Structure 1
Amino acid sequence: MKHKSIYAIAAMCCLASVQTMAQKTLGEATKGKFLFGTAVNMQQVNGVNAAESAIIASEFSAIVAENDMKPQPIHPAEDRFNWDNADKIVAFAEKNKQTLTGHCLIWHSQVPNWFFVGEDGKPATPEVLKERMRKHIHAVVGRYKGKIKGWDVVNEAFEDNGSYRNSKFYQILGKDFIKYAFQFAHEADPNAELYYNDYNVETPSKCDAIVQLVKELKAAGLRIDAVGSQSHMHMINPTVEAAEASFKKLKAAGVHILITEWDISILPSPYEGANISTNFSYSKEMDPYRDGVPADVQAKWNKRMLDMFNLFLKYDDVIDRVTVWGVTDNGTWLNGFPIRGRMDYPMLFDRNNKRKPIVDQMIKLAKKYKTIKKK
């Protein structure tokens, strides 16, 4: 008699547990309104974290790679690609009949240094960098042509004040690096949707800059289907009104909207935003809920989640996907950002891999909205 692996047994037990919590999931409740997804890592995809693997497979209609499709892990050397993890993520999505988004092709962070260095050791020329971008994008997008619905083509190209980020891409190629990236991605897979993705899109100056970018790309005859708003949120900011104002601007610009990395930190914030290069020193005052979240604070977080989710549903004619950036409180990146060692509670599943009560409230809210035909 063959014995099943401990991971397989654990996954089946967790899946059964998840399925008995409620007949509906957010992925099911939002069907026809927008996809409801999550970011995945290799422990989940490989079944090492069997509990979270089971949750992802049963609860979500879409997934995106948290790290393994970014330039550095997938293309560490000019003549070498690491396809193993990305291939497994594609297979995981296919197995679970989930829509997969590619994240991301061009970003100032998590990109290998060789991209920007010429053979003489000096900064790469515009011609060299442009050709490296073309080869990278054609290789990655081309490998998964027909398997990935859309790509975050360029990630975080603007500062909050609306100026272009002074990345190495911008230093060498100017703002046209964005146009080249969208051109190359469309060449590699003409049927794939193409997205621009950023954080703090609710900031008026940044949103205005993104709208201008959309207009410039369209004027150049380039495809851009949607703008991704990462939506890393805190207990106060951004306000619902600020988020809605950004939705109105993007809708008027003729693009759809993606909520790409949604989480709401319950902890005090030393600043607003999601610049991953920023870290602050640990203090107990900034980590107040190690023994659990007080009921009144939890109620405020629940209301915050419902208020934002209600806004997403209100704009479901243009919002195509809502993706949470993680699965459980235990695995959230916010336990280590922007202050390492804290205990945050920003996700829809708790540290025991159980659905929080807020999920059923969100499902009930989704049922109240009639599904409308997408334009």
Structure 2
Amino acid sequence: MKITRFYLSIIALPAILNCTAQKKVAPLLPVLKDVFWNDFSVGTALSALQIEGRDHKADSLVKKQFNVLTPENSMKSMFLQPEWGKFDFRIGDRLTDYAAKNNMQVVGHTLIWHSQLPAYAQTIRSKDSLQAFFNNHIRTVAAHYDKKVLGWDVVNEALNEDGTMRPSIFQRLLGDDFVTEAFRLAQEASPNSELYYNDYNNEQPAKRAGAIRLIKKIQGAGVRIDGVGIQGHWHIGKVPFDDIEKSILEYSALGIKVMFTELDIEVLPRNFTGAEVNQRMRNTNDTALNPYTAGLPDSVQKQLADDYAQLFRLFLKHRDKISRITFWGVNDGQSWLNGWPVPGRTNYPLLFDRNYQPKPAYYAVIATKQQ
């Protein structure tokens, strides 16, 4: 049924466009989730405002185009457990209810991450106290959403760029085995949810090697891990296609699913790669760092479309290994890249513009199924 709707929409498009010219009605757009129905799920990240239903344009677009939802921030520990032992599931529950009502799935993001911890957790200095927070948070949250979410980003960004363990609060106080233990606890508390490791730059050789060691360690302990998330925060004209393909092959060889979990392609100047949220650029008042406040030039729009098209051709080549592609935001105005690593910039990293209209990149992605 999904495929039929897509092909009917493509076949009917010339007639619809002709009708549009006569009656001035909006043309029917192809639907991402239907176009790639037989290949992989297509998702997006939602802000709290969108989850709460206060962004009606986003609501209409999300219902039409996507079939998997990830909370951009609302399921991180600082929001779910703002006070020790006191959990606030209201927004997360609203998301899972919304998804169930609209025949979508939810990926929980994230159980354990060193960033965006509640204030009290950031001040913990003893191993016993952190272990208590760690155990209770995973057990309570994972159990609450068992059978309500497709899967969890159990641990987020536990590695350095060279593939060694990041010296986070969890690594320092609980040791390198905290990742395996997080998956063990999540497996026990949420047996019906898939369990993923998620990171940025883990398509790069050194970090990829570290992630593979980490995944093998989890597997070697007899603990379940179902997939790896490659975040996919890349830069226009510099998308590492060869490393992405090698990563798809090497991760899938471990017997796990491969996902691209936070996809966006930045168009603005930046002097480093990755998505370390604590990094910032200097000289933030330099207007050269924010060159497209009046709109994106056609040449840049074309490069963005070309990059997305090449990326999706690669995804389609390995569709048997990839289970999900999630864009990190519904439209350009929502993107976190407007505020990082330079506050207040005007960025254009997604398929839909600030008015929720499809960009050339959207049509380029759709066209990869017609080639």
Aligned-partner residue type, residue 364 of structure 1: A
Aligned-partner residue type, residue 149 of structure 1: L
Q: Which residue of 1 aligns with 2:113?
A: 107
In the TM superposition, what are the counterparts of 1:142-221 in structure 2 within 5 Å? 142-221=143-222
Per the alignment, do residues 216 and 46 of structure 1 end up closer, same or farther by CA in structure 2, a change over 3 Å counting? same
Q: How many Å separate the matches in 1 of 2:29 and 2:329? A: 22
Q: Which residue of 2 aligns with 1:286?
A: 289
Aligned-partner residue type, residue 63 of structure 2: A
Q: Which residue of 2 aligns with 1:230?
A: 231
Q: How many Å separate the matches in 1 of 2:336 and 2:74? A: 15
3-state SS, counterpart of residue 157 of structure 1: coil
Per the alignment, do residues 367 and 102 of structure 1 end up closer, same or farther by CA in structure 2, a change over 3 Å counting? farther
Q: How many Å separate the matches in 2 of 1:238 and 1:358? A: 15
1:38–1:324 CA contact under 8 A, matched in 2: yes
3-state SS, counterpart of residue 88 of structure 1: helix
1:329 to 326, 329, 332: 332
Per the alignment, do residues 294 and 180 of structure 1 end up closer, same or farther by CA in structure 2, a change over 3 Å counting? same
Per the alignment, do residues 304 and 184 of structure 1 end up closer, same or farther by CA in structure 2, a change over 3 Å counting? same
Q: Which runs of 5+ in 1 are unaligned?
A: 1-18, 369-375
Aligned-pair distance for 1:58?
A: 1.2
Q: Which residue of 1 aligns with 2:47?
A: 41
3-state SS, counterpart of residue 333 of structure 2: coil
3-state SS, counterpart of residue 196 of structure 1: strand
2:311 to 308, 312, 334: 308
Q: How many Å separate the matches in 1 of 2:144 and 2:172? A: 29
2:245–2:314 CA contact under 8 A, matched in 1: yes
Q: Which residue of 1 aligns with 2:367?
A: 364
Q: How many Å separate the matches in 2 of 1:81 and 1:91? A: 18
Q: How many Å separate the matches in 2 of 1:244 and 1:150? A: 24
3-state SS, counterpart of residue 330 of structure 1: helix
Aligned-pair distance for 1:282?
A: 3.2
Q: How many Å separate the matches in 1 of 2:360 and 2:29? A: 14
1:60 and 2:66 aligned: yes
1:130–1:180 CA contact under 8 A, matched in 2: no
Q: How many Å separate the matches in 2 of 1:137 and 1:367? A: 44
Which deviates the most, 244-253 or 25-34? 244-253
Aligned-pair distance for 1:358?
A: 2.8
Aligned-partner residue type, residue 355 of structure 2: N
Aligned-pair distance for 1:367?
A: 5.0
Q: Which residue of 1 aligns with 2:249?
A: 248
Aligned-pair distance for 1:257?
A: 0.6
Aligned-pair distance for 1:308?
A: 0.9
**Percent identity between the two aligned chains:** 37
Aligned-partner residue type, residue 79 of structure 1: G
TM-score by length of 2: 0.89
Aligned-partner residue type, residue 64 of structure 1: T
1:264–1:346 CA contact under 8 A, matched in 2: yes
Deviations 1:213-254 (A, max 9, x none): 111111110101110000001013342112112112212222
1:50 to 20, 42, 56: 56
3-state SS, counterpart of residue 228 of structure 1: strand
3-state SS, counterpart of residue 102 of structure 1: strand
Q: How many Å separate the matches in 2 of 1:21 and 1:267? A: 31
Aligned-pair distance for 1:54?
A: 1.2
TM-score by length of 1: 0.88
Q: How many Å separate the matches in 1 of 2:181 and 2:233? A: 28
Q: Which residue of 2 aligns with 1:3?
A: none
2:304–2:361 CA contact under 8 A, matched in 1: no
Q: Which residue of 1 aligns with 2:3?
A: none
Task: Tell me how large the CA RMSD over aligned residues is.
Answer: 1.6
Aligned-pair distance for 1:47?
A: 2.1
1:76–1:112 CA contact under 8 A, matched in 2: yes
**Matched positions, count:** 345
Q: How many Å separate the matches in 2 of 1:366 and 1:265? A: 24
Q: How many Å separate the matches in 2 of 1:328 and 1:40? A: 10
Aligned-pair distance for 1:22?
A: 3.0
1:116–1:124 CA contact under 8 A, matched in 2: no
1:344 and 2:363 aligned: no
Q: How many Å separate the matches in 2 of 1:359 and 1:218? A: 38
Per the alignment, do residues 286 and 152 of structure 1 end up closer, same or farther by CA in structure 2, a change over 3 Å counting? same
Aligned-pair distance for 1:116?
A: 6.0
2:37 to 20, 31, 36: 31
Q: How many Å separate the matches in 1 of 2:230 and 2:34? A: 22
Q: Which residue of 2 aligns with 1:298?
A: 301
Q: Which residue of 1 aligns with 2:104?
A: 98
Q: How many Å separate the matches in 2 of 1:238 and 1:167? A: 28
3-state SS, counterpart of residue 114 of structure 1: helix
3-state SS, counterpart of residue 258 of structure 1: strand
2:82 to 68, 76, 85: 76
1:268 and 2:274 aligned: no
Deviations 1:155-192 (A, max 9, x none): 00001111111001000111111011000000011121
2:305–2:364 CA contact under 8 A, matched in 1: no
Q: How many Å separate the matches in 2 of 1:217 and 1:202? A: 19
Q: How many Å separate the matches in 1 of 2:248 and 2:66? A: 24
Deviations 1:5-31 (A, max 9, x none): xxxxxxxxxxxxxx9543531111111
Q: Which residue of 2 aligns with 1:124?
A: 126
Q: How many Å separate the matches in 1 of 2:27 and 2:207? A: 41
